[in-house]
Structure 1
Amino acid sequence: MLCQFSFQNFKSYREETTFDFQASSVPEFADSLITKDKCSSLLPVSAVYGPNGGGKSNLLLALASLISTVVKPIHDLEKNRKPLIMQQRVAAEPFLFDPVSAEKPTEFRIFFRTEEYEYRYYLAVLQDEISAETLDRKKIGGKKPAHIFYREGEEISLGTILKKENVNTSINAKMPFISFLAINYNIPVIAEVQEWFESCIIRSYANPMAEMQIMVSDDAEIKKSILLLLNDLGIDVDDYRYDEKEKQLFLKRRIGEADYELPFSHESDGTKKLIAILPVLLVALQEGRLVIIDELDAKLHPKLLRYVISMFQNRKINRYGAQLLFTSHDMATMKNTVFRRDEIWFAALNDCHSSEIYSLYEIRREDNERVNSTAAFDKQYLEGRYGADPYLQSMLSGGDWK
């Protein structure tokens, strides 16, 4: 489970930027949180809003860049331990609107949790070469973290666990040490980190071809779940099959006494989007994976988007700590009946043309109080009160805080 992600000098982000999945001390929707003894509660969902060009997608790309930098060498050599779902290589591109940043490394820091341990991993990349890398872990509830390895340039320092394994420290400058270890050794601590990175699902619906890439399962239980969900969402489908000869998915509907099949390509855009995304979400919920989706709301009715969000917020459905991080423009879902204040994030450009992010919970009113949990989030956002949509802010007048 993702706890926190920080990065700097990546695309439109120049300064260190931190995104947090750790729950704040707010009372709303407490029963939706991912909880565990002796550690902080985590959010099951976070949505990122903001204007076009504000940095929403780049936030997700930064996380995708770190994940793919670790996973791609492993996958290329077919050494992955978990099946990858829709990951793709994202290069670490620095901030380019000043003469200094282009010569500095892009830095990533990630804090995530497994069943028994909390891991902190740091990676710095400069012109496709690894300039620094660190991995530490701590037993959940423990006080002192264990140093797994530290890398600075060509020098690699090993912690006690790796010293016992007699591992090689002479590696390619472009290869993360964590990836090298995963490829060449069978070390439990490394395998656990590897599997976490490999479990992450990355999807971008800013790319129209994404809806044509479908996961099809013949497993009876999975198929049954997909069909039940489609019907719950108002898509009347009795069955589906994939025709190998035609390389086409067909959906079956029973109308009257007859069965009819319709090619997937003939379905509505909303139906195609649902059929493309539901199998991915089901896998995430069944296996406790992190799902990262750009423009999740594209072509989805707001009620369908709410349904998807509610699956992750429902502890009876989300039993294994799956998490959903997505970008959205859908104001109909920015409601206090849908989200906690710390589940809503904004991305926007500052005066230096660099992106920044902040959560709704962090925003202070003029009286220095936080935004009320009962406030009309969508209305106040459209009025420009949250500072993440300068276009609308100049068009709409403000009002009193509620």
Structure 2
Amino acid sequence: MLLRFRVANHRSIRDEQTLSLVAVPRRGESGELGTVRVAGIYGANASGKSNVLSALMWMISAIRSSHTQWEPVGGVPRQPFKLSEAGRTAASFFELDFLHEEQRYSYGFEVDDTHVLGEWLYAFPHGRKKKLFERSGVDDITFGRALTGENQRIRRLTRPNSLYLSAAASNNHHLLGALYAALIGKVMFAQHGEEDEKLRLHLTKFLLNETDFAPALNKLLQLADLGVERAEIMERPNDPMLDEFAGPSPDDLADSSSEAALRALRARVVLRRSSGGVSLSLEEESAGTRAWLSLLGHALLSLRGDGVLVTDEIDSSLHPLLSSSLIRMFKDPLINKRRAQLIFASHDTTLLGSMLEDEIMARDEVWFTEKDDSGSTSLYSLAEFHPRRDENVERGYLQGRYGAVPYLNFDSIREVFREGSGATSEPQA
């Protein structure tokens, strides 16, 4: 479970920004704070919504790949703020606070174009900070007493451009390997785009072969009122070329055998329509049907495994009632018994109001991004504005009460056509 994510100097995020999933207490509430199950990010086009999600994705990718896939002399493939010389040369910073087996941890690192400049991991037993390891400079790593294992041997194997956490997991460190697995295995990403949708559909195909998931997948597909009765798997003939398919590995799909994963890749999905029992392939279905089916696999895996689903443009090709239902699945304590989380970016303002449901998004679940004149993104919470319980957040957002909306002067747009050569000439009789 994620508590906070902090980032600086990634794409349009120049200065340090924080996305918090710690619940904000309402007036009169006291006691230990909980966490929110949902965080939605709103803002104008090109304001940096996707870059917040991209930063989290880049951090998880670095943890997974820095030791095994980054070129030994290839530096660090980061994406700093490029609109100023200071941004291009300054270090990039990433930090996650998270819970693992009811224990709080804080892990982070700083990198430049060539090296890991700093890296740290702390535990907080009984709320007190305890060092597990700290790294300063290229290879100066110190360890706390609580971190047992072959720490020094792994330190010698850690390259200047590799994360120690990544190296430790690759060398079977018991505790660090478990934390590594929790981060890369439980944070799932659903990006907007055709290729990513194909990868998500491969996961859905795999789950349709699993008796633990197939009934729920088909029921949710049916309840979406898409005119679909169920999804079915049809096997293709064996094709040796599919053995080289560059799609998700069996580990990415689920914990199962290579044979089962390959069988899922060879299969194709057809949807049996409610009208007349006709079956259509996914390629013949609407973008909305494919989008809903492709998200369901990730959502069910996250909900059943206390995971974190991070999705950009959650409203893309989906009716507002479908995207709101996905959000409500994560917020419903009867469905989300393992405290899974959903982080998304959206333009769908109906999710902010009460037109669809009483309250889909609480104030501490709504975040905004806005760019200043230098092109730098700021991230801030709706809770900072202390909206009244009965305040129409959707209307206030569209009216610019919280910022994070584009400013469009329609008179200026009309002037463009007035100035155009013949663009606004009177129609001929």
Q: Which contiguous aligned blocks of 4+ residues in structure 1 show a shift greater than 4 angstroms?
A: 73-77
Which amino acid is 1:202 matched to? F
Instruction: Output the CA distance in 1 between the equivalents of 2:361 and 2:105.
Output: 28
Q: Are residue 284 (structure 1) and residue 277 (structure 2) matched?
A: no
Per-residue deviation, 1:74: 6.6
Q: Secondary structure at the match of 2:44?
A: coil
* Range 207-216 or range 188-197, more displaced: 188-197
Q: Secondary structure at the match of 2:152?
A: coil
Selected match of 1:123 from 91, 94, 109: 109
Instruction: Output the CA distance in 1 between the equivalents of 2:68 and 2:159.
Output: 17
| Cross-structure match for 2:384 | 362
In structure 1, the gaps of 5 or more residues are 31-37, 78-89, 364-369, 397-402
| Cross-structure match for 1:303 | 321
Could you say which structure has the larger radius of gyration?
Answer: 2
Answer 1 or 2: which has greater helix percent: 2
Asked if 2 retains the 8 angstrom alpha-carbon contact of 1:62 and 1:92, the reply is no
| Cross-structure match for 2:143 | 158
The CA deviation string for residues 263-317 of structure 1, in whole angstroms up to 9 with x for no partner, is 1100111101011110110000000101110111100000011100000000010
Which amino acid is 1:199 matched to? K
Per-residue deviation, 1:91: 4.4
Shift in CA distance, 220/76, structure 1 to aligned 2, threshold 3 Å:
farther
The CA deviation string for residues 151-172 of structure 1, in whole angstroms up to 9 with x for no partner, is 1112111111335545321221
Asked if 1 retains the 8 angstrom alpha-carbon contact of 2:110 and 2:116, the reply is yes
* Range 352-361 or range 321-330, more displaced: 352-361
Shift in CA distance, 121/219, structure 1 to aligned 2, threshold 3 Å:
same
Q: Secondary structure at the match of 2:400?
A: coil
Selected match of 1:269 from 255, 275, 287: 287
| Cross-structure match for 2:167 | 180
Asked if 2 retains the 8 angstrom alpha-carbon contact of 1:340 and 1:373, the reply is no
Selected match of 2:39 from 36, 46, 56: 46
Q: Are residue 146 (structure 1) and residue 133 (structure 2) matched?
A: no
Q: Secondary structure at the match of 1:122?
A: strand
Q: Are residue 251 (structure 1) and residue 271 (structure 2) matched?
A: yes
Per-residue deviation, 1:112: 0.5
The CA deviation string for residues 58-114 of structure 1, in whole angstroms up to 9 with x for no partner, is 00011111111001247759xxxxxxxxxxxx9421111221121111001110012
Q: Secondary structure at the match of 1:374?
A: coil
Q: Secondary structure at the match of 2:35?
A: coil
Q: Are residue 56 (structure 1) and residue 33 (structure 2) matched?
A: no
Instruction: Output the CA distance in 2 between the equivalents of 1:389 and 1:43.
Output: 25
Per-residue deviation, 1:138: 1.5
Q: What TM-score do the two structures reach when normalised by structure 1?
A: 0.85
Selected match of 2:179 from 192, 206, 217: 192
Which amino acid is 2:195 matched to? M
Which amino acid is 2:235 matched to? D
| Cross-structure match for 2:80 | 94
| Cross-structure match for 1:315 | 333
Shift in CA distance, 375/102, structure 1 to aligned 2, threshold 3 Å:
same
Asked if 1 retains the 8 angstrom alpha-carbon contact of 2:23 and 2:35, the reply is yes
Q: Secondary structure at the match of 1:291?
A: strand
Shift in CA distance, 22/198, structure 1 to aligned 2, threshold 3 Å:
same
| Cross-structure match for 1:111 | 97
| Cross-structure match for 2:230 | 238
Asked if 2 retains the 8 angstrom alpha-carbon contact of 1:291 and 1:325, the reply is yes
Instruction: Output the CA distance in 1 between the equivalents of 2:197 and 2:394.
Output: 28
Shift in CA distance, 353/239, structure 1 to aligned 2, threshold 3 Å:
closer
Per-residue deviation, 1:40: 2.8
Instruction: Output the CA distance in 1 between the equivalents of 2:286 and 2:19.
Output: 35
| Cross-structure match for 2:395 | 379
Q: Secondary structure at the match of 1:62?
A: helix
Asked if 1 retains the 8 angstrom alpha-carbon contact of 2:77 and 2:113, the reply is no
Instruction: Output the CA distance in 2 between the equivalents of 1:244 and 1:127.
Output: 46
Q: Are residue 204 (structure 1) and residue 198 (structure 2) matched?
A: no
Which amino acid is 2:191 matched to? S
Instruction: Output the CA distance in 2 between the equivalents of 1:372 and 1:268.
Output: 40
Asked if 1 retains the 8 angstrom alpha-carbon contact of 2:25 and 2:33, the reply is no
The CA deviation string for residues 302-357 of structure 1, in whole angstroms up to 9 with x for no partner, is 00111000000000100111000000011121125111011111101023321001
Percent identical among aligned pairs is 27
The CA deviation string for residues 12-68 of structure 1, in whole angstroms up to 9 with x for no partner, is 11111111000001279x9xxxxxxx9530000011011111000000011111111
Which amino acid is 2:174 matched to? I
Shift in CA distance, 184/204, structure 1 to aligned 2, threshold 3 Å:
same
Q: Secondary structure at the match of 1:100?
A: helix
Count of aligned pairs between the two proteins: 365
Per-residue deviation, 1:186: 3.2
Instruction: Output the CA distance in 2 between the equivalents of 1:284 and 1:156.
Output: 34
In structure 2, the gaps of 5 or more residues are 71-75, 238-265, 412-429
Which amino acid is 2:223 matched to? D
| Cross-structure match for 1:33 | none
Shift in CA distance, 103/19, structure 1 to aligned 2, threshold 3 Å:
same
Asked if 2 retains the 8 angstrom alpha-carbon contact of 1:243 and 1:250, the reply is no
Selected match of 2:62 from 69, 73, 79: 69
Q: What TM-score do the two structures reach when normalised by structure 2?
A: 0.80
